[in-house]
Amino acid sequence: MKNPYLPLPMRLVKNFVETEDKLIHTFTLEFLNEEDEKSFQYLPGQFAEVSVFGVGEAPFGIASSPTEPGHLKFSVAKVGVVTTTLHQLPEGTILGVRGPLGNNYPIEEFKGKNLVVIGGGFAFTTLRSLITYILHPDHRGDYGELTVIYGARNPGLLLYKDELAEWEKRSDINLICTIDRPVEGWNGRVGFVPAVTKEVAPSAENAYAVICGPPVMIKFTMPVLEELGFSPERIIMSLENRMKCGIGMCGRCNVGNKYVCKDGPVFTRAQLNQLPNEY
């Protein structure tokens, strides 16, 4: 029986400063052997526990896509001991990874449907995984129109800028980036995500909405989606409750009778409506 607490060893091959404030880095980790990669079968929306040996471990959403073999990506904000240590690690360091953990975005249900993906700031990591998966040539034909609304306080805080630039050139994705206030040199939209979502007004017909971001963004975007006609069953959310063990044993991330790490982190709005408002 596989020990769920035993991490796979992976090599840090890239430690990239993602944002201009230098508080978010994206780490690219490669598998050390083929058997470990084969055992790590994941889908967009899942997370993993990343450990720095001798320091500790922490859960992070997987930012890479299964369509990007050989490695995993994690975008990590510097907020504590483990993440601060991660930010300082040189490339070549061996790290531990436990996972994949949690559930995934319902990509089978999404097939044949239009998708509206809404993200804010740092919480764009698993959305990147989802978008990259859908845009892959093997999958793009399985899904309808793809609209992405992504906001940050300023352009320097947007993640994955090179990929955003590439996505903007494509005709099979409608990408709308927005910042909170005007900045010299910015030619995109200006405004908060809820207001921009209302302006763009993506159709709810034959569509799902996937939303991940700061609680205040979600709070004010939810009424917009409901006004546009998205039913609670077709609004998909990814919770970010504070997780610890990742396998539903420690009870740190429970909401009502659900564990975010085990039963989530992906839930429909309809499912969350049945739970206490503790998320």
Helix (H, G, I), strand (E, B) or coil at 130: helix
Each residue's pLDDT tens digit, 121-131: 888 999 999 99
What's the token pair of residue 119? 């993200």
Q: What is the pLDDT of residues 92-112, one digit of tens each?
A: 999 999 999 999 999 999 999
Per-residue model confidence (pLDDT) at position 180: 94
Q: CA-CA distance, 131 to 111, in Å (whole number)? A: 13
The predicted pLDDT at position 247 comes to 75
Question: What pLDDT score was predicted for residue 184?
Answer: 92
What's residue 104's pLDDT?
Answer: 96
Whose tokens are 């980790």? That residue is 29
261 assigned to a ligand binding site: yes
Say whether 212 counts as a known binding-site residue.
no
Q: What is the pLDDT of residues 80-92, one digit of tens each?
A: 999 999 999 999 9
Give CA separation, 103 vs 73, 100, 126, 158, 259, in Å. 18, 9, 12, 26, 11
**pLDDT tens digits for range 5-28:** 889 999 999 999 999 999 999 999
AA identity, residue 255: V
177 marked among binding-site residues: no
pLDDT of residue 249 exceeding 90, the answer is no
**pLDDT tier at 169, thresholds 50, 70, 90:** very high
| Amino acid of residue 44 | P
User: According to the annotation, is 253 in a ligand binding site?
Assistant: yes
Q: Which of 85-94, 170-179, 184-193, 255-264 has the lowest mean pLDDT?
A: 255-264
Q: For 129, list phi and psi in degrees, rounded to 5.
A: -60, -45
Q: For residue 160, what are its two tokens? A: 């994955």
**Spatial contact of 106 and 266, defined as CB atoms under 8 Å apart:** yes
Q: How confident is the model at residue 279 (pLDDT cuts 50, 70, 90)?
A: low
Task: Classify residue 182 by its DSSP letter.
Answer: -
Give the rounded percent of residues in the chain with a pLDDT score beyond 70.
99
Could you tell me if 233 and 269 are in contact, meaning their C-beta atoms sit under 8 angstroms apart? yes
